[in-house]
Amino acid sequence: MSEDPHTFYQSLLQKELGTYIRLREYRSISGGCINEAFKVKTNQGDYFLKVNKHMPPHFFEMEKEGLLLLKEKSNFTIPDVIALGTFEGVQYIILEFIEGRRTSTNYWESLGSKLAELHQNSHETFGGVRDNYIGELPQSNRSKEKWLDFFIEERLLPQVHLGVQNGVIPQKYIESTNALRQLLKDYFPEEKPSLLHGDLWSGNTMYDVEGQPCIIDPAVYYGHREAELAFTTLFGGFDKLFFEVYNEVFPWEKGIEERLEVYNIYPLLVHTNLFGGGYLEQVNEIYKRIDHALGY
C-alpha cells in the first residue's frame, strides 16, 4: 500500500466503480481474524470491503462462488458481490453492505426453516464444488460417493497432515484418524448429500433490515447435513427455537445428539491449525470416546 489508507481505498473503489466515486469515510469492522474488513461510505452509497495481502488471488473468487451458490439455492439474504480483484498487491472483494437490526421477532424460526430448506438441495456426490477455504485453510471438495470416505479423506486427514507438517499435531494422529474409518463404519445415517454453508457459526449470521437471517463467509460443499447442525453447537449462540423449527421442516434421524461431537472433529482440527490452544485436546477426548464406545 503505497499511499495513505484513505487515498488507497479511494483509488481501489475508483478502479472498480468509476472515477465519479468519492470515498467519504471508512470504518473497520471486527469479527474476522483473516481479512481486514471495512464499511465504506461513498457518494454512491455504502459498501462492504474486505482486503487481504497474504492469501492467493483466487481466495475471494471462491468466496464469490459460495455466495452465488447460496443466493441461487436458498431463501437467505445473501450480499451481492460487486467486484473483486487485486490492487497494488492487495486482494479485495467489494460486497453489498447489509445493514443489520439488533432484534427480530421470528429470527430463529426463520433461520431454522431456511437452513432446512437449503439442506434439501442435493447432489449426486459429497463434495460437489470446487476446492475452497475454511477460514484461511484450503478445503478439499473432491467428490466421494460415501460420506465416511469424504469425511475421513477430504476433511479430517488433510487437517491432520497439515498439523503434523506444521508441528502442531503429533504424528500418531494420522494412524488414529485412519482407524476411524473402521470404527465409524455404518455409524452415520444414510442421506443424500446436502448443500451446506460449511462454516455456520453465529458470527457468520446476522439480521437484515427486515429482521430476516443473512448468512456470510461461506465454505460451501455438499455434505452430511448433520455436520452443519453440529457446527452450530460448537461455539453456541443458536437458540433452541432454531433447532426445533429445523427439525419440524426437515426432521433429523434419531441419535443425532451422540453424533454431533464426531462431526465436530473437523472444525476442531481446523481451529487447532489456526489457533493451537486446547482444541487438539478436545479432539483427543473425542477419539478416546469413539474408541471406547465403538472399538473392539
Q: What is the CATH number of domain 107-294?
A: 3.90.1200.10
Run of H or E including 239 = none
**Cα 283 from Cα 269, distance rounded (Å):** 7
- CB neighbourhood size of 246 (10 A): 26
Q: Are strands 36-42 and 23-28 parallel, antiparallel or unpaired?
A: antiparallel
**Per-domain boundaries in the chain:** 5-96, 107-294
Phi, psi at 207, each rounded to 5°: -90, 145
Judged against a pLDDT cut of 60, whether residue 31 lies above it is answered with no
Residues acting as catalytic residues: 199
Q: What share of the chain in percent tops pLDDT 90?
A: 83
> What is the DSSP secondary-structure string of 32-84?
-SSSEEEEEEETTEEEEEEEESSS-TTHHHHHHHHHHHHHHH--SB-PPEEEE
Query: pLDDT tens digits for 76-132?
Result: 999 999 999 999 999 999 999 998 766 667 899 999 999 999 999 999 999 999 999
Mean pLDDT estimate for the chain: 93
Give the SS3 label for residue 195: strand
Which helix (H) or strand (E) element contains residue 190? Answer: none
What superfamily in CATH does domain 5-96 come from?
Phosphorylase Kinase; domain 1 (3.30.200.20)
0.85 surpassed by pTM:
yes
What radius of gyration do the chain's Cα atoms show? 20
Residue that the C-alpha cell 453492505 belongs to: 97
pLDDT-based confidence at residue 276 (cuts at 50, 70, 90):
confident
